[in-house]
Structure 1
Amino acid sequence: MTNTLDIQQPQPFDLVDSNILIAGNATAFEGTLSIRVSEGHDEYSSFATVGSLGLRQFQGSIEIPDTNTFKLNRLFLTLADDTGNPNGPSVVIPVLFGPLILPGYGGWRPYVVQPGDTLIQIAQAQYGNSNFQPIFEANQHIVNDPNLIFPGQVLRIPRDDI
């Protein structure tokens, strides 16, 4: 039987909370996938149960109990069928860790950039101050320079009041 990992959630560069929800389709030896979250230094691990015969849908999660453990806001979620095969398939998904982007992170809202907008103006309207860093960090996969945003671009605005 061919081992398969098709991860549908999270997608690369999704903005996640301290409880990272994972879903997809998989086959796994003895029905178990290992889950690891790392920034390259520290790591949390868990597992998800998958049916052992044929491709099965699964849902799982991993809780990051201490959000201060990580120093970087870009994390790597690794799912692997290594319960019986050290060379089994694995998938690595980069995600952005909301609690390190905005203290009290509770989710995000979309914002469509309007002509003449700047990140400072958007931050002032959304947060009541000019700290655009949470917006810039939440969109680091599409915004390379905080001075270059474009009308029509959809930005994620991290929120602590959702």
Structure 2
Amino acid sequence: MSIHVEQPAAYDLVGNIIQVAGVAGGAFEATFGYRVHDGHDEVTGSFLAGDGTGGHGQFQFTVDVTGAAFQLDRLYVDVFHASPNNGAELDKVVVPVVFGPKIVPGYQAYLEHVVVAGETLWSIATKYYGSGNFYHRLVAANPVTVPNPNVIHPGDVIRVPQGT
């Protein structure tokens, strides 16, 4: 049995509709489960991949998390095969993602901003949001690029979440 999740990638910025895709196989009756959660709420379901006799196949599905009461801007997408014996989650893959609607009200998409010499997160937030006070949105949306909000470098690509 194996599961390979190709989408979303780790720390992708996602909205209320999350696309999940990859390759899986070897599960009993070709049935796999998924969970999108933040530790406070979760959305669960199942999908089919492979042929149920060991063959592998592609999968793609969407998860609508609009009704979830997530409290955090960091979500986890779990994909797994449930054991027919005891229900244990086998071969589980966990992908951390950033939940845009918790960062910017009405999140729809993000822009990419290439940092130039002399810029700060405060100045970038002022440019896009009208106030440097919103720099925390940039920090939340870029956990890999901006592990320290006091340090950004020319050439860094900063995701700038956009709302309605």
Q: What TM-score does the superposition give when structure 2 sets the normalisation length?
A: 0.89
Equivalent position of 2:58 in the other structure:
57
- SS at structure 1 position matched to 2:90: coil
Which residue of structure 1 aligns with residue 82 of structure 2? 82
Letter in 1 for 2:84: G
Equivalent residue pairs, number: 158
Partner of 2:39: 40
Whole-angstrom distance in 2 between the partners of 1:103 and 1:33: 33
Give the counterpart letter for 2:105 in structure 1.
Answer: P
Q: CA separation in 2, counterparts of 1:61 and 1:100?
A: 19
The letter for the 2-side match of 1:92 is V
Please, what is the CA RMSD of the aligned residues?
A: 1.5
Q: Show structure 2 runs of 5+ residues with no match.
A: none
| Partner residue of 1:4 out of 2, 5, 20 | 2
Q: Which amino acid aligns with 2:109?
A: G
CA contact (8 A) 2:23 2:56 kept: yes
What does the per-residue CA deviation read over 1:107-161, in whole Å, with 9 as the maximum and x for residues that have no partner?
1111110000011111111122221121111002221221111111111111115
Greater share of residues in strand: 2
Q: Report what 1:24 is aligned to.
A: 22
Aligned residue for 1:116, secondary structure, equals: coil
CA distance 1:128–1:92, shift in 2 (3 Å): same
In the alignment, the residues of structure 1 paired with residue 47 and residue 112 of structure 2 have an alpha-carbon distance, to the nearest angstrom, of 31
* Cα deviation, residue 40, structure 1: 1.6
SS in 1 for 2:23: strand
List alignment gaps of at least 5 residues for structure 1. none
Equivalent pair of 2:37/2:43 in contact (CA under 8 Å): yes
CA–CA separation in structure 1 for the residues paired with 2:163 and 2:83 = 38
Q: Secondary structure at the match of 2:82?
A: coil
Q: Which residue of 2 aligns with 1:110?
A: 112
One-letter amino acid of the counterpart of residue 75, structure 2:
L
Question: TM-score with structure 1 length normalisation?
Answer: 0.90
Deviation above 4 Å: which 4+ runs of structure 1? none
Whether the 8 Å contact between 1:34 and 1:83 is mirrored in structure 2 is: no
Determine the C-alpha separation between the residues in 1 that align with 2:113 and 2:80. 35
Q: Give, in angstroms, the shift of residue 83 of structure 1.
A: 5.8
Correspondence for 1:97? 99
